Structure 1
Amino acid sequence: MAMPRHDRARVLLRQLYRTEARRARQFRYALLVLDLLSIGWIVLASFLPLNTLVLTVDCGLGLVLLAEFIARQSASARPWRSLVQPLELADLLGILSLLLAPLLHGALGFLRVLRTLRLLHSVRLVASLRSDLPFFRRNEEATLAAAQLGVFVFIMTGVVFETQHHGNPHITNYADALYFTVATLTTTGFGDITLQGRLGRLLSVVIMLAGVTLFLRLAQTLFRPNKVRFPCDSCGLQRHETDAVHCKACGTMLRIPDEGDG
C-alpha cells in the first residue's frame, strides 16, 4: 500500500533536518545561509526609511521563514512539544514581527532580533561542521564561544536600537547601537552615547555583566590547552590531548581520527 503524500513529505523533512546524509547537511547549510540573510536584512533595514518597499520585503521574508518554521515543526516527532520550546517560540515571534510589519508599521520590529537565537544552536548543524571542517573540529569550543558572543552582541544591539532610536537622537541606526553595545560590553564607556531612562540604565547593566562573562569564556577557550572531543568508550571522558593514545582517566586505548597532516 502506497504511503500517503503527507506522510512521505514528513519522512523527507525528517531526513533533511535530522540525518547526516550529504543532502541533509547541504540543506542545513542552506538554512544557515537563510538565517544570515534574514539577519543581514534586519541590519540593512535599520538604515532605510520605513516605506512600502521595506515593508514588502519584510512580509516576503516573513513568509519564507514561516514556511521553513512549519517544515521544521512537521519534521519533529512531537510538533506541539517542539513548538513550546523557548527557542522555537522566540523564532516564531521574530517571524510574526516581519509578517505583521505592514499592519503595525514596524511597531514590533524589536522582536525580529530574536531570530539570531537560532544561529549555531542546532546540534545537527554543529555535527555537520565538525565532520566537514577540520578547523572547526580542532577549535570547536573557541568557535562556539566566539559565535555565542557575536549572537549576544547582535541581540543586544537590536534591543538597544529598537528601544532607543525613536527618542534618543544619538542612536539612529544599527551602527550607532553597535558602537554603544561594544563600548559598554568592554566596559570602555566613552560616554558620548548613553541610554535614556531607567530601562536604558538597566539594559546597560545587563550588557556589561553578560558581556564580560562571555568575554571571559572566550578567553578561557582560547588560552586553555588545545584538546579534541572524543568520548572514551569505557569511562566517557570527552576531552583528550590531540596526540593521546590512551585515556588518561582509565587507560583505555583511544582511536581518535587524525587527518594525518602532521
Structure 2
Amino acid sequence: MTDLKSKIRRLYTGNSKRARRFRYGLITFDALTIVYFITTVALPETTTLTVLNTLLGIIIVIDFAARLWISHSPRRELTRIYTLADIAVVFSLLLAPFITGNLAFLRVLRGLRLIHAYHLLRDLRRESLFFRRHEDAILAAVNLFVFIFVTTSIVFVLAFGEAAGLTGYVDALYFTVATLTTTGFGDITMSTPGGKLLSVFIMVVGVALFVQLARAIFQPSKIKHKCPECGLNRHEPDAIHCKHCGEPLKIETEGETQG
C-alpha cells in the first residue's frame, strides 16, 4: 500500500515525462468538465446525461480521494475552496438519479465546478513558464469568467428555470453581462426584491473584476519568484537581482539572454 501511495504521489508531484503527461491530462479533464457543466446547464435531464454525469462524478471522486490520500495535510486540503466546491459538485452529480423533482438547485451546485479553475491555475503555475509570466492577467480573466458563469447559472435557475431551455440560458447570460457592465438596457429586469439585490451584487462585483482585469493587462508584468534573502516574491521577468535587497536571483527563463 505504501508503494502504491508513492507511485500515485510521483504522478501528481513528480518531474518525469509520465508524471507531466498525467498532470496535463488532469488539467485537460478539469478544463473540459468546466466547459461541459457550462454548456449543459440549460439542457433537460435525460438518461444519457444522467449516466454521463454519474461517470464524471465517480472520476472526480477518484481524483479527489487520490489528492487527499497523498496530501501531507489532508485537513488543509479539505478546507480549500475548490475542494469544498468539488464536494458540492459530486453531491449534485451522484444525487441526481435519486431525485425526481426540480433539479434546479443541483444545476447551481454543478456550476461550482468553475471554482475548480483555481486548482487548474495552481497546476498550470507549476507546469507552465508562460503562465507564470502572465499570471496576473490570466487570474483576473479567470476571476471574471468564473463570476460571469456562476452568476449566470444562478440567474437562469431563479429567473428562467429549466423549461426555458437554451434560450433562457442565453437570456440569463445576456442579463448578467449587461448588468455587470452597468449597460442596463432594461429589456430583461428583475422585479422581486431578491432579484434587485442580486442585480446590485452583480454590478458592484462585476465592475471591480473588470477594473482588476484591465489593470492586470496594462500594468507592467511581473513574475512570481520568492527572493531567498528578503522574501519579495514579485519581480520583473528579466531580473537578475532583487530590487529590494540586491540578492542574486535565478528566475527560470525560456532561454533569453538576460542583461
Alignment pair present for 1:77 and 2:75: no
Alignment pair present for 1:54 and 2:52: no
TM-score (norm 2): 0.84
Q: Give the Å deviation of 1:120.
A: 3.1
Letter in 1 for 2:207: V
Once residues 72 and 241 of structure 2 are traced to their aligned partners in structure 1, the CA distance between those partners, rounded to angstroms, is 39
Once residues 85 and 234 of structure 1 are traced to their aligned partners in structure 2, the CA distance between those partners, rounded to angstroms, is 29
Letter in 2 for 1:114: L
Residue aligning to 1:33: 28
| The one of 36, 39, 42 aligned to 2:37 | 42
Q: 1:196 to 1:74 in 2, by over 3 A?
A: farther
Higher relative contact order (CA 8 A, sep 6+): 2
Contact 1:161/1:171 (<8 A) preserved:
no
In the comparison of the two structures, how many residue pairs are matched? 254
Letter in 1 for 2:176: T
Residue aligning to 1:198: 193
| The one of 227, 231, 242 aligned to 2:226 | 231
Which has the higher mean CA deviation after the structures are superposed, 122-131 or 47-56? 122-131
Q: Give the Å deviation of 1:75.
A: 2.1
Q: 1:245 to 1:62 in 2, by over 3 A?
A: closer
Identity rate of aligned residues, in percent? 44
Q: Deviations over 1:205-245 (max 9, x none)?
A: 22111111111111111121233333333222222334434
Q: Deviations over 1:134-154 (max 9, x none)?
A: x32321211121122211212
Q: Give the Å deviation of 1:47.
A: 4.1
Residue aligning to 2:161: 166
Residue aligning to 2:97: 102
SS in 1 for 2:235: strand
SS in 2 for 1:39: helix
Once residues 249 and 84 of structure 1 are traced to their aligned partners in structure 2, the CA distance between those partners, rounded to angstroms, is 34
Residue aligning to 1:185: 180
| The one of 171, 174, 177 aligned to 1:176 | 171
| The one of 95, 115, 118 aligned to 1:117 | 115
TM-score (norm 1): 0.83
Once residues 80 and 244 of structure 1 are traced to their aligned partners in structure 2, the CA distance between those partners, rounded to angstroms, is 37
Residue aligning to 1:3: none
| The one of 131, 134, 140 aligned to 2:135 | 140
Once residues 245 and 158 of structure 2 are traced to their aligned partners in structure 1, the CA distance between those partners, rounded to angstroms, is 54
Contact 1:168/1:195 (<8 A) preserved:
no
Which has the higher mean CA deviation after the structures are superposed, 48-57 or 145-154? 48-57
Which has the higher mean CA deviation after the structures are superposed, 108-117 or 61-70? 61-70
Q: Where do 5+ consecutive residues of structure 1 fail to align?
A: 1-5
Contact 2:42/2:162 (<8 A) preserved:
no
Contact 1:120/1:126 (<8 A) preserved:
no
Superposed CA RMSD: 2.7
Which has the higher mean CA deviation after the structures are superposed, 100-109 or 150-159? 100-109
Q: Where do 5+ consecutive residues of structure 2 fail to align?
A: none
Residue aligning to 1:68: 63
Once residues 163 and 196 of structure 2 are traced to their aligned partners in structure 1, the CA distance between those partners, rounded to angstroms, is 13
